[in-house]
Amino acid sequence: MNSLWAVTVATLVKDIRLEWRSKDALNSMLFFSLLVVVIFVFSFDPLAEESRHIVGGLVWIAFLFAAVVALNQTWARELRNQVLDAYRVSPAPANGLFLAKTLGNFIFVCVLEALMTPLFVIFYNLHVLGPAWQLIPVALLGTWALVVNGTFFAAMSLRTRNREIMLPLLLFPVSIPAVIGMVAGTTAILTGENSAHFYIVLLLTYDVVFTTASLALFKAILHAE
Amino acid sequence: MKKLFLILAGLTALFLAYATYLALKVAPTDALQGDVYRIIYYHVPSAWTAFLLFFINFIASVQYLARTKASLQKAVQWVVIAIGVIGVIATFLPQVQALLPAGMRPSAVATTVLAIPAFYFLLGWKFPGDRMDMLALTAAEVGVVFCTIVLVTGPIWARPVWGIWWAPGDIRLTSTLVLWLIYVSYLVLRRFSNSAQTQIIAAALAVFGALDVPLVYFSIWFFRTQHPQPVIGGGGSMDPRMLHTLLISWMAFLCFAFLVCWSRFRLELLKREAEQAEAMESLVGAGTAAKASVPLSRSAR
């Protein structure tokens, strides 16, 4: 347990430091989701009263695509200089590596969301009618759902041709219940028409199920070579 | 083997023809929908066959993953036995029975639950080693074909009956569509990954997909209870002749699916054998390669 924690923290700190110095993932994600927001603003009339109903979907589409940009870079870094092979032969627990990568992506996507949400509020004149604090659990649980599966599938698609295309192809079908939970939960809170409790429970269940499954299977995936 | 296949193919063709005759001639016309409803004898058996094949894919994938370690294999075996025993006992408890939807018999649920350990051990016994992975691939491929039939015939049926091609909030339509998407992504993964480790990666994805299915179901179920949709048929009682025709159709479809799976499985077996022989040839030369491919081809015959 101790070594798991040590590996997790060490890898996480390393990743964050690398990201802090290069800002590769964060910059590309930010610019990408900014583009999505601008295109949406041109496509729909943002002043319409309808915006409250559609913005839940738009926000999460922007974050979903932006997250894929970051997720694709997760393991690419470790392929250079055969770092991943070194991990494989080392006795360090595989799940430590997985947890560190997932936490790192989680932090990056959360930063992105924190920076992008004000933009959505400005562009779409948003005014939350439901209990606004519930947006936080929906966002956190939804982000974790995306990131935990995304990190796992990114590791899986490492072994495939065209791995950049493979990741969304694998990730999106399995993420559909989570996406329903995020979008419907956000819409429910924004419009205040119904309660978001069910969606929070759904996201929580999804997170627990897939975090467990990823941790159980990651070793097999990492050593599959 | 080839002769047996041809005989079975002929019998299946006859069986399918008989099922079509029953569906078009013998089964009575539906009081509300008229003759349009007869697509049910094509739509529903395809759906059941597809779900059965996806179930086989899941069992095969779990077993393939479990086989990577002996201790894991033991543990999974006990879990499967426990699921069977607890599931059967649970369906006869009044508390659990209260949760079952109306019209679902506890004995039917218990039989379905029993299918999990039964399939697990039957497949484990019949498909040693890498054949388990070939079975998973075969089941997924044929399952996707049947699932496509379901998704195509569904809207054709829905248009005259409900007045719309597609009911976006309907639980069965949407969860079948998501199921189809998941298994298509499984096949795409298998197509794009040609390393030696495709099997493990694909098995992991199949497990993820199967875990996803109940979540998809619940998420849409809640969606629908909030926004009622034009009703789906079903519920109520069915004319016994209709049910009889439906079951005969399903049997015929199962025979057909079995035949397709069989030939697909053999094709995969021969393909891998050829690949192995080729790899051997490039490694040590033609003489050894011929010898190396013997164990597989003997069982293939």
Q: Rounded CA gap, B209 and B213, in Å?
A: 7
CA nearest to A161 within chain B: B192
Is the confidence at residue B226, as pLDDT, over 50? no
Domain ranges of chain A: 2-222
Q: Which of A2-11, A42-51, A143-152 has the lowest mean pLDDT?
A: A42-51
Percentage of residues in chain B having pLDDT higher than 90: 28
Task: Tell me whether 0.90 is exceeded by the ipTM.
Answer: no
pLDDT for the residue B231? 38
Helix%, strand%, coil% for chain B, nearest 5: 80, 0, 15
The interface residues of chain A toward chain B in range 37-56, judged by CB-CB distance below 8 A, are none
Q: pLDDT of A96-155, one tens digit each?
A: 999 999 999 999 999 999 999 888 888 887 788 888 888 999 999 999 999 999 999 998
The predicted model gives A56-60 an average pLDDT of 88
Domain ranges of chain B: 2-67+129-300
The predicted model gives B245-266 an average pLDDT of 92
Q: From the candidates B69, B185, B188, B221, which should be mutated to test the interface with A, based on the most A CB atoms within 10 A?
A: B185
Q: From the candidates A215, A217, A222, A225, which should be mutated to test the interface with B, based on the most B CB atoms within 10 A?
A: A217
| Residue A93, helix vs strand vs coil | coil
The pLDDT confidence band at residue B102, using thresholds 50, 70 and 90, is low
Query: Would you call B62 an interface residue with chain A, using a CB distance cutoff of 8 Å?
Result: no
pLDDT for the residue B101? 64
Closest CA to A68 of A182, A152, A146, A184: A146
Closest CA to B204 of A104, A98, A203, A117: A98
CB pair distance less than 8 Å for B178 and A173? yes
Are A185 and A85 in contact by the 8 Å Cβ rule? The answer is no
Q: Annotate A65-85 with b (16+ C-beta within 10 A) or e (fewer).
A: ebbbbbbbbbbebbeeeeebe
Query: Would you call A210 an interface residue with chain B, using a CB distance cutoff of 8 Å?
Result: yes
CB pair distance less than 8 Å for B215 and A169? no
pLDDT for the residue B152? 92
Residue B248: which residues within 8 A CB-CB, separation 6 or more?
Answer: B18, B19, B22
Identify the burial level of B283 via C-beta atoms within 10 angstroms of its C-beta, where 0-12 means exposed, 13-18 middle and 19 or more buried.
exposed
Beta bridge partners of B34: B30
Residues of B in contact with A205 (CB under 8 A): 215
Q: What is the largest CA-CA distance in chain A?
A: 58
Q: pLDDT of B189-203, one tens digit each?
A: 988 877 777 888 899
Q: Rounded CA gap, B240 and B237, in Å?
A: 9
| Residue B169, helix vs strand vs coil | coil
Q: Rounded CA gap, A67 and B88, in Å?
A: 43
pTM as predicted: 0.85
Query: Would you call B225 an interface residue with chain A, using a CB distance cutoff of 8 Å?
Result: no
Are A113 and A63 in contact by the 8 Å Cβ rule? The answer is yes
CB pair distance less than 8 Å for A224 and B197? yes
CA nearest to B216 within chain A: A177
Q: pLDDT of B22-37, one tens digit each?
A: 888 888 887 777 788 8
Cα–Cα distances (Å) from B241 to B28, B130, B247, in that order, read 7, 44, 10
pLDDT for the residue B196? 72
Query: Would you call A70 an interface residue with chain B, using a CB distance cutoff of 8 Å?
Result: no
| Residue B191, helix vs strand vs coil | helix
Beta bridge partners of B30: B34
Smallest Cα distance from A221 to chain B, Å: 6
pLDDT for the residue B297? 47
* Residue for token pair 């299977």: A217
The pLDDT confidence band at residue B301, using thresholds 50, 70 and 90, is very low
Identify the burial level of A185 via C-beta atoms within 10 angstroms of its C-beta, where 0-12 means exposed, 13-18 middle and 19 or more buried.
buried
Smallest Cα distance from B12 to chain A, Å: 35
CA nearest to B69 within chain A: A220
CB pair distance less than 8 Å for A156 and B178? no
Q: Rounded CA gap, B242 and B245, in Å?
A: 5
CB pair distance less than 8 Å for B216 and A176? yes
Hey, what are B118's tokens?
């039964």
CA nearest to B67 within chain A: A220
Check the CA dihedral A84-A86-A92-A93 and report its sign.
positive
Q: Rounded CA gap, B246 and B126, in Å?
A: 30
CB pair distance less than 8 Å for B222 and A202? yes
Is the confidence at residue B299, as pLDDT, over 50? no
Q: From the candidates A180, A182, A194, A219, which should be mutated to test the interface with B, based on the most B CB atoms within 10 A?
A: A180
pLDDT for the residue B286? 55
Instruction: State the first-to-last Cα distance of chain B, in angstroms, to the nearest integer.
Output: 7
CB pair distance less than 8 Å for B212 and A156? no
Residues of B in contact with A184 (CB under 8 A): 219, 223
Residues of A in contact with B198 (CB under 8 A): 159
Smallest Cα distance from B271 to chain A, Å: 20
Q: What is the largest CA-CA distance in chain B?
A: 71
CB pair distance less than 8 Å for B178 and A184? no
B68, B195, B222 member nearest A159 (Cβ): B195
Check the CA dihedral A168-A196-A114-A46 and report its sign.
positive
